[in-house]
Amino acid sequence: MDAEQINALLPQTQCTRCGFPDCASYAQAIARGEAGINQCPPGGAEGVRRLAALTGLPVQPLDPVYGVEGPRTLAVIDEDWCIGCTLCIQACPVDCIIGTNKHLHTVIESQCTGCELCLPVCPVDCITLVPAHPDPVPTGWAAWSSEQADEARARHTFRATRIARAKADNDVRLLAKGEHKLQDLAAASKLTDPVQLDHKRSMIEAALARARARRGQS
């Protein structure tokens, strides 16, 4: 089974309810035969049928261990309670929350997948979920289009790339700082004893060597 084809049939809410960190990881597990096709509540019964048609596996009810099919919801931030901690921004898998430290955050409604991952990280409980659709309330793929799934997947991929790039840039800065400090450790340190300085120098050199090795592996 092809993991990319399987991933293309998932709703891309990136909610982790399937037991995996994102939709792509779940798709890979299905392809390896390590996960069932009935572990995605946002996809619901229609999602199971789509995956069954692709994989040749039998249609089966959604496994209640992973949740139940329900209506799509949107996250809303109460501006009177928001303290601007940025934790929800960091938790959002599709970068649909905007704001800066100590300033009000806002959810971009059209991009919210209703993953609920922002709820547990909010320290002041200022985030609530509201229905994305009026009555009658659709569920599963009836509440979420393939176009929306494609957009969510693209935002999730961009976010992962952005985070990886930021980490790599930070690693380079830290490595440069360490190498600069090592050039004149006596001037950069409060230590004056030559034995202690040599010990600290060896520790820094070992840490820098590990950092270089990690960069070479990435």
Range of the domain at 186: 145-217
Higher pLDDT, residue 203 or 70? 70
H helix intervals, 92-190:
146-183, 185-188
3-state class (DSSP) for residue 127? strand
Task: Indicate whether 99 and 135 sit together in one domain.
Answer: yes
Q: Which of 142, 159, 181 is the last residue of a domain?
A: 142
Task: Indicate whether 138 and 150 sit together in one domain.
Answer: no
pLDDT at 190: 73
pTM of the predicted model over 0.75: yes
Mean of the per-residue pLDDT values of the chain:
89
What are the pLDDT digits (tens) for 23-43?
A: 999 999 999 999 999 999 999
Task: Indicate whether 132 and 153 sit together in one domain.
Answer: no
168-194: b (≥16 Cβ within 10 Å) or e = eeeeeeebeeeeebeeeeeeeeeeeee
Rounded to an integer, the average pLDDT of 133-143 is 89
Q: Which of 51, 66, 81 is the last residue of a domain?
A: 66
Report the number of distinct structural domains present in the chain: 3
Task: Indicate whether 149 and 213 sit together in one domain.
Answer: yes
Task: Indicate whether 138 and 163 sit together in one domain.
Answer: no
67-76: b (≥16 Cβ within 10 Å) or e = eebebbbbbe
Rounded to an integer, the average pLDDT of 48-55 is 97
**Contact criterion met (CB below 8 Å) for 95 and 159:** yes
Task: Indicate whether 58 and 87 sit together in one domain.
Answer: no
Would you say residue 46 has pLDDT above 90?
yes
Task: Indicate whether 96 and 151 sit together in one domain.
Answer: no
Q: What is the CATH number of the domain that holds 52?
A: 1.10.15.40
Q: Rounded to whole angstroms, how far apart are CA atoms 111 and 66?
A: 24
Rounded to an integer, the average pLDDT of 119-129 is 95
pLDDT at 19: 97
pLDDT at 68: 96
Task: Indicate whether 188 and 212 sit together in one domain.
Answer: yes
Q: Which of 47, 66, 85 is the last residue of a domain?
A: 66
Task: Indicate whether 138 and 154 sit together in one domain.
Answer: no
Above pLDDT 90, what percent of the chain? 67
Would you say residue 212 has pLDDT above 80?
no
Would you say residue 86 has pLDDT above 90?
yes
Q: What is the CATH number of the domain that holds 115?
A: 3.30.70.20
Q: Quick one: pLDDT band at residue 217, thresholds 50, 70, 90?
A: low
Q: Quick one: pLDDT band at residue 59, thresholds 50, 70, 90?
A: very high
